[in-house]
Structure 1
């Protein structure tokens, strides 16, 4: 069978072209594999050699791709979840996790060692761990399934049953794939490598620590004569909120050598060393008020702000003192919905006029 009948040669050239462009533009400091999020699927990697042409993969990641083809669509979905969650958590901040385009994604921004970049690393590693673990539980992957180590009767009197999420497999794959670029033998920027690895681990730790025990009662009229339970991951929205809280309390660190080993320690010696759950960063963040190609800042001009808020989403802070303009917009929405038996809902269209405030 000629595979090119299914995947034309111009598609292969297109993918290879994107990979080359991405390599030249993005440099060696970004999370290049996140560009997988912009692909509609990873089905094309079943064609020989396609792992090498996937956008943004380092050589080690290409090797992992070849050996774990069935997992790669979960990696793509994990990257997609990470970007969406980042944009949700920062939607009211000056830096709102905007992607520049399908190839550059965050542009030059990821070259910085700021707390925002630290969050991107953490949420990305968490996204892969969460997506791969979920695929295991759904039976989408041949090499993993439910966590069978959780079984028997618990000390609390319930039976372990059901499909516990295989978090061990998900986090192990995330570590193997996401950390692959940082674990090169030689690196000129060891402190940035240590920062990235630490924040990757913080993301995975958030997924692990948010595991919950979910139970179901069995018996006549819900008497709960028998209770079965299993371990389940929290929603990714909950994990995003955990990491956002870690971002707000992130620790600025510096490089030190202790016993011939490079380690990151707090810049302020009054602070405790960061734990595995903490997010760490190397340099202070820019104010993100004005567009700056060097830092990847898009500025806040044109952003919608909250006139009455005194928080960061308020017009005073979000607009960086430049002021704002007010414009009147008309919103069309569904209203007066009625359910008709059987089985549809009918709604009317209502319009309302509101004032919208936009940063100058």
Structure 2
């Protein structure tokens, strides 16, 4: 599914991110490539794993630091740095939204049965190695389903003003939402005293909380 494609990609990116960082810091002693461990993994999972790793490579950027007296840049040291992992997650979320539906085809070669991927719809642009792919439709996450691990969306807090996935219209799957008021105590009217502490009053504020029916 789209969801499992995203999970494979983000997990693969996370492993690549952690290994790259530990090798750069010198905390890992084994930093070469090992081609011996190629487990029996499906073409679909291999593609999404590679998409996750490629994301790290595509978002590397050059960072530089100046050396010299009084900040003069007599000597400059530059290195390739990894992106913030949050940027990787946001990028792969976009790829999740635009994932391509595929058909898995098996054919026999001298080394045995081999799986290949073909785009289900020829009218659409075929996916690149940087795109996520899937072949099963996502289950209905609106209702609880122990087989898929879905908890449903009943009683989920939603944003009544949002038109996105967190909005009450989408998140509540058309069932509508309930609204209740909550009274919360918060710190307010804070004053900094020299030197050096902050004193605050406690204020009670009323919030509207919206939850899915």
User: Cα RMSD (Å) of the superposition?
Assistant: 2.6
1:118-267 map, 5 Å: 118-144=5-31, 172=33, 183-184=39-40, 193-257=42-106, 260=109, 261-267=114-120
3-state secondary structure, aligned to 1:203: helix
Q: Which residue of 2 aligns with 1:329?
A: 182
3-state secondary structure, aligned to 1:333: strand
Distance 2:122 2:108 in 1: 19
What TM-score, normalized by structure 2, do the two folds share?
0.85
Distance 1:269 1:118 in 2: 21
Distance 1:265 1:127 in 2: 27
The CA deviation at 1:257 is: 4.5
Distance 2:59 2:208 in 1: 40
347 and 211 in structure 1: CA distance in 2 versus 1, 3 angstrom threshold: farther
302 and 232 in structure 1: CA distance in 2 versus 1, 3 angstrom threshold: same
1:48-127 map, 5 Å: 114-127=1-14
Q: Which residue of 1 aligns with 2:172?
A: 319
Q: Which residue of 2 aligns with 1:302?
A: 155
Higher strand share: 2
What TM-score, normalized by structure 1, do the two folds share?
0.53
Larger radius of gyration: 2
Q: Which 5+ residue runs of structure 2 have no aligned equivalent?
A: none
Higher helix share: 1
Report how many aligned residue pairs link the two structures: 209
The CA deviation at 1:198 is: 1.0
Higher relative contact order (CA 8 A, sep 6+): 2
